[in-house]
Amino acid sequence: MGQRLTGTAFDGLVELPAEHDLQSVDVYITSQCNRRCTYCFLPSDFFSSGQRMSAKAFADVVTWCLRHHVGEITFLGGEPSLHPAFPEMVALAHSQGLAVRVVTNGARRFRRLVESGLIGRCNLNRVAVSLDTLDETLQDAFRGRGAWQDAMDTIRLLRDRSILFDINVTGVRPVLDGIGALIQFADEAGCRRVNVHWPSSIGLGAQLAVDHIPDREEWHGLVLMATKRVGTRPDFFVEIERGFLGEGDPLVGCALDDFSNLQILPDGRAYRCGLLVDQDGMASLMMTGDQLRLTRPGFGEELIRSSMPPLCNACPAMQADGRRACIYDKVSSVPSG
């Protein structure tokens, strides 16, 4: 067996040190989706690919997580509930002692699975529902007809079934004025966290109209509003990407540097950084069986990682027109009490 490095090995086998920062593995089990959100970070080719992770491949990911003491699996897609084996995958991960998190747009099939009891408090630790605004017309304009109703119906179902849930918000400019009201709604609905993302500039989001992207001052105002808000419940908070770096601020939270993130696509390609998953050529890792391997040591993510220092010069988050902060650089509101 080859010499181990942090996150890589000379023999191609990737092993993590006993103490590491990887808390959850993001698993994209299907490319099928009932939405085409205009700011999605995945490209149109992904959704038309028909990719679907096999039950065996998913079981191998579970084995890898257990071996490396990663405590949580996050299900993504596409819409993960559209995978035919989704409830069985959830049950498997839960039975092996992993926390299960699901990111959903509130698809009807997700609700039917909850209503049937195949998934629920028995095996879901938390669910993140995509909802950007309380304005139905505005939500549907960005995510497609019926998107707002799906999200609201799912939130009500999760609340009624006492299933812990978050709300994921994409902060495009047209929804900014309503985020305060959305946070208040989330607080009153029993939400655990409102997670506010900067609009994606990759995948489908690369085509987002320029006037839908907040400027530095608008985003700074949103960050201040979110972080200065004192919650009414100790178990509720708002988390938001810092967005921009101040003068002299370093880039922090780099997943390529600390291996705090791992995203696995249906075909086994794996990424450390979510800003690169829209590019096939950036994948330098592959999950094969229950092993994570470095398959392209001089290319893609690995080439960027090995260029450190200065990593920042190669980072897609560092734009010349505004020194964007990393998507993993987040700040939070103050909980009550």
Q: How sure is the predictor about 232, in pLDDT bands with cuts at 50, 70 and 90?
A: confident
What was the pLDDT predicted at 233? 87
Q: What is the mean pLDDT of residues 159-182?
A: 97
Domains and CATH numbers, the chain: 24-332 (3.20.20.70)
**Cα–Cα distance for residue pair 157/115, rounded to 1 Å:** 8
Q: How sure is the predictor about 312, in pLDDT bands with cuts at 50, 70 and 90?
A: low
Top mean-pLDDT range of 36-50, 149-163, 220-234, 319-333:
149-163
What was the pLDDT predicted at 322? 55
**pTM score:** 0.91
Can you spell out the DSSP letters for 205-235?
GGGS-GGGS--HHHHHHHHHHHHHPBPSSTT
Q: pLDDT tens-digit profile of 301-311? A: 888 777 655 55
User: Pairing mode, if any, of strands 165-170 and 126-130?
Assistant: parallel
Which residue type sits at 146?
G
If one compares 206 and 264, the residue with the highest pLDDT of the two is 264
What was the pLDDT predicted at 2? 31
Taking 80 as the threshold, does the pLDDT of residue 249 lie above it? Answer: no
Return the closest-CA partner of residue 269 out of 290, 303, 292: 292
Q: pLDDT tens-digit profile of 189-226? A: 999 999 999 998 888 888 999 999 999 999 999 999 99
Which residue type sits at 234?
P
Q: What is the mean pLDDT of residues 275-281?
A: 88
